[in-house]
């Protein structure tokens, strides 16, 4: 392992938490049973029960109910609204519109925006990534030195009739050129009730034990959003679990877990907020010659257009953690 300063991108580019969390046992959550030592995906810091650890080891995800208060979610909703109304902006923030409405007249409200990414410079949103109750769980996967690598607020629009509101089945590690994967975890919180009607997360349990698969654009007639790559050869017989979640519920999942999200058949914009965390012991890897080479090229092209210059990525990187010479 290299030193802790190997991972962050340029100065001010990445939001680095590097908190040393004190593992405080929480009443009712800590198992008095001593945990086996052969777990690969979880650490024993006294937060996860044995059953929770076994579940994550086996399935690659864990839902924890009622993690974020309605009050905090309201703050995130307001901050998002401010960004949509262009009252708030921040360095690095990426605002994305759904491919189905790209050519419609641009109305600067939340109805036009499908997702924002890299909100680390928006304090009211980055607050989510620093919530102690979330970090306490994150530590069970990453260990105590935690970095926030990639942030998103997803505002899945009512489907415009072309099924573009779906997110194809994928592994998030495809977008991340750092390892080891087992020290990376996503926290994803439902900002309202999310079920099959508004496009819940769909996971293929146990797939975190596999390898990173080839990702390509799915051949969808109605179009696909930029960089929404999908896995072509997932096992159609692998059971799928639709994660129905209440407001504030949070799922932690492994970056190799195959997942996607369904079409939003409602008239509302379904909202979720997420952060990918990694251990400060992770290191960037070169992706030349790997399945991630194509996404590196796409990221470099977008960065080049956005900044109006030719950029050389120091390493393959998703929009969240690229940096520029």
Ligand X SMILES: Nc1ncnc2c1ncn2[C@@H]1O[C@H](COP(=O)(O)OP(=O)(O)OP(=O)(O)O)[C@@H](O)[C@H]1O
Ligand Y SMILES: O=C(O)CCC(=O)C(=O)O
1 binds ligand IVC (CB under 6 A): no
| 11-19, 27-35, 124-132, 223-231 -> range binding ligand IVC (CB under 6 A) | 223-231
60 binds, among Fe ion, ligand Y, ligand X, none (CB under 5 to 8 A by kind): none
Q: Which is nearer to ligand X, 13 or 167 (CB)?
A: 167
- Closest approach, Cβ 173 to ligand Y, in A, equals 11
Q: 3-class DSSP state for residue 198?
A: coil
179: left (phi over 0), alpha (psi -120 to 50) or beta: beta
Reduced to 3 states (helix: H, G, I; strand: E, B; else coil), residue 114 is strand
Residue of 172, 182, 249, 296 interacting with ligand Y (CB under 6 A): 172
Instruction: Rule CB under 6 A: choose which of 261, 292, 319, 320 binds ligand Y.
Output: 261
The DSSP element (H or E) to which 167 belongs, if any, is strand 167-170
Nearer to ligand X, 92 or 168 (CB): 168
Least separation in angstroms between CB 28 and ligand X? 33
> Maximum Cα–Cα distance for the chain, whole Å?
60
Quote the CA–CA distance of 313 and 23 in Å, as a whole number.
Answer: 37
Quick one: which segment of 5-13, 89-97, 171-179, 218-226 binds Fe ion (CB under 5 A)?
171-179
Per DSSP, the three-state class of 219 is coil
Q: Distance between CA atoms of 226 and 136, rounded to whole angstroms?
A: 34
For Fe ion, give the closer residue by CB, 45 or 155.
Answer: 155
Nearer to ligand IVC among residue 74 and residue 301 (C-beta): 301
Which residue from 90, 94, 160, 244 is in contact with ligand IVC, where contact means CB under 6 A?
94
Secondary structure E strands in the chain: 15-16, 61-64, 94-97, 113-117, 146-156, 167-170, 178-179, 184-190, 201-203, 215-216, 230-231, 241-243, 250-253, 259-261, 270-279, 283-284
Considering only 99, 113, 203, 300, the residue that binds ligand IVC (CB under 6 A) is 99
Q: Which is nearer to ligand IVC, 160 or 227 (CB)?
A: 227
**37/19 Cα distance (integer angstroms):** 25
Nearest approach, Cβ of 176 to ligand Y (angstroms)?
11
């Amino acid at each position: 392992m290299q030193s802790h300063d190997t991972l962050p991108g340029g100065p001010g580019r990445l939001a680095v938490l590097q908190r040393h969390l004190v593992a405080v046992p929480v009443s009712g959550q800590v198992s008095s049973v001593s945990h086996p030592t052969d777990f690969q995906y979880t650490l024993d810091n006294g937060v996860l029960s044995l059953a929770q650890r076994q579940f994550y080891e086996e399935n690659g995800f864990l839902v924890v109910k009622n993690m974020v208060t309605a009050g905090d979610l309201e703050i995130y909703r307001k901050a998002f609204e401010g960004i949509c109304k262009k009252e708030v902006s921040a360095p690095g923030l990426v605002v994305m519109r759904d491919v189905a409405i790209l050519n419609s007249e641009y109305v600067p409200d939340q109805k036009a925006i499908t997702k924002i990414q890299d909100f680390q410079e928006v304090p009211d949103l980055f607050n989510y990534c620093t919530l102690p109750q979330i970090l306490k769980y994150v530590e069970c996967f990453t260990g105590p030195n935690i970095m926030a690598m990639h942030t998103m607020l997803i505002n899945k629009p009512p489907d415009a009739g072309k099924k573009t509101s779906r997110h194809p089945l994928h592994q998030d590690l495809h977008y991340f050129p750092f390892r080891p994967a087992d020290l990376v975890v996503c926290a994803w919180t439902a900002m309202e009730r999310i079920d099959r009607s508004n496009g819940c997360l769909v996971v293929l349990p146990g797939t975190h034990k596999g390898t990173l698969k080839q990702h390509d654009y799915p051949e969808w007639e109605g179009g696909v959003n930029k960089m929404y790559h999908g896995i072509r050869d997932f096992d159609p017989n692998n059971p799928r679990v639709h994660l129905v979640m209440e407001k504030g519920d949070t799922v932690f999942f492994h970056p190799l877990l195959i997942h996607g999200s369904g079409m939003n058949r409602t008239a509302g914009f379904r909202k979720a907020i997420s952060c990918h965390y990694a251990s400060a012991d992770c290191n960037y890897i070169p992706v030349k010659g790997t399945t991630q080479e194509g996404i590196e090229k796409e990221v470099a092209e977008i960065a080049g257009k956005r900044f109006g210059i030719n950029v050389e990525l120091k390493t393959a990187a998703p929009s969240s953690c690229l940096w520029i010479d």
